[in-house]
Structure 1
């Protein structure tokens, strides 16, 4: 049973096999003084999501890749730091889509191991 929906641009897509959030500090400048003490100028905290899907039908794969094909897109996911559903704006990294199998009985392809990094704007 799915406890939450994974949404791209407001549309629920097939639940990923895994979502690995990374919380990133963005520094304008970081340096150490003569005593070795670090001085940071943190300007933002951003998220990167490594999202992986298991087997996908042609239509499921197309829906996902189409939803993330624009320059930016929204993604609603369960955020570990917020402890709740969050919607943020991301752009997509490379989008490999290897064919897993061709099912002759169903005359359809099945896609497997699609993995995309969503990087927060």
Structure 2
């Protein structure tokens, strides 16, 4: 289950990966004993998405949903279950498989929590 700005894209995606990323402050360092003195300021999510073949109208819907600077994403998180986060999109890549049928393949991008 994955919704971007209320648009359900579940039927288009391959199984996705969710990364939990710790963000540390600049004061996180190792002391003279080599022990980590950590100041974690946040835990953020990154979702790695990959899609199967897409018709031109489908890829337009997906790319349109991720066109904003930030947008709402609802997904199944391994730690918290179903959650909604404000996210942004990394670089998007896709290959035109057939210009005759306007079929696209290999669409990939990451969604990163704000």
| 2:101 maps to 1:97 | no
Instruction: Please give the TM-score of this superposition, normalised by the length of structure 2.
Output: 0.92
1:9 pairs with 5, 10, 14, which one?
A: 5
Count residues in correspondence. 112
Structure 1: gaps (5+ residues): none
1:24 pairs with 11, 21, 25, which one?
A: 21
Structure 2: gaps (5+ residues): none
Q: Give distance in 2, aligned partners of 1:33 and 1:23.
A: 26
Q: Give distance in 2, aligned partners of 1:86 and 1:109.
A: 34
- Runs in 1 of length 4+ with deviation above 6 angstroms? none
Instruction: Please give the TM-score of this superposition, normalised by the length of structure 1.
Output: 0.87
**Partner residue, 2:107:** 114
Q: Give distance in 2, aligned partners of 1:78 and 1:101.
A: 33
